Amino acid sequence: EPEVTQTPSHQVTQMGQEVILRCVPISNHLYFYWYRQILGQKVEFLVSFYNNEISEKSEIFDDQFSVERPDGSNFTLKIRSTKLEDSAMYFCASGKTGVSYEQYFGPGTRLTVT
């Protein structure tokens, strides 16, 4: 069964450093998303991406964040200058076209900012 994959599974970085989290969505999906979950808290929406542009973003997704689909398979989330409060699990998700199809989530990348 096709699945969303994410790399790395765990990333440790120092405050102020740039990080890139990588995702490979399911191949025939056209909608892509990033969510995050701070330890013990809710899953929070960050951004959705369709047709090579951001379709929606949350207040969390400020100028420090960017997303890109650099080729036909990868979908990346970049944090330019990490802060301690960016420590969280980051989940990528993808979905088909059509009316309210389900989202498929990856296993997540645990980001630890020290």
The answer to whether 86 touches 78, Cβ cutoff 8 Å, is no
Nearer Cβ to other proteins (65/91):
91
Cβ proximity to other proteins, 63 vs 102, nearer residue? 102
User: Residues in the site for other proteins, rule: CB under 8 A?
Assistant: 4, 31, 33, 35, 42-45, 48, 50, 56, 58, 91, 93, 95-108
Amino acid letter, residue 24? V
DSSP, collapsed to helix, strand or coil, labels residue 15 as coil
Terminal-residue alpha carbon distance, the chain = 37
Q: How far apart are CA 6 and CA 25, in angstroms?
A: 9
Cβ neighbourhood burial of 9 (10 Å; 0-12, 13-18, 19+): exposed
Least spacing, CB of residue 87 vs other proteins, in Å? 16
Q: Report, in Å, the least distance between residue 38 CB and other proteins.
A: 12
- Nearer residue to other proteins within complex by CB, 20 or 30: 30
Pick the closer one to other proteins by CB: 16 or 101.
101
Q: How far is the CB of 40 from other proteins (least distance, A)?
A: 11
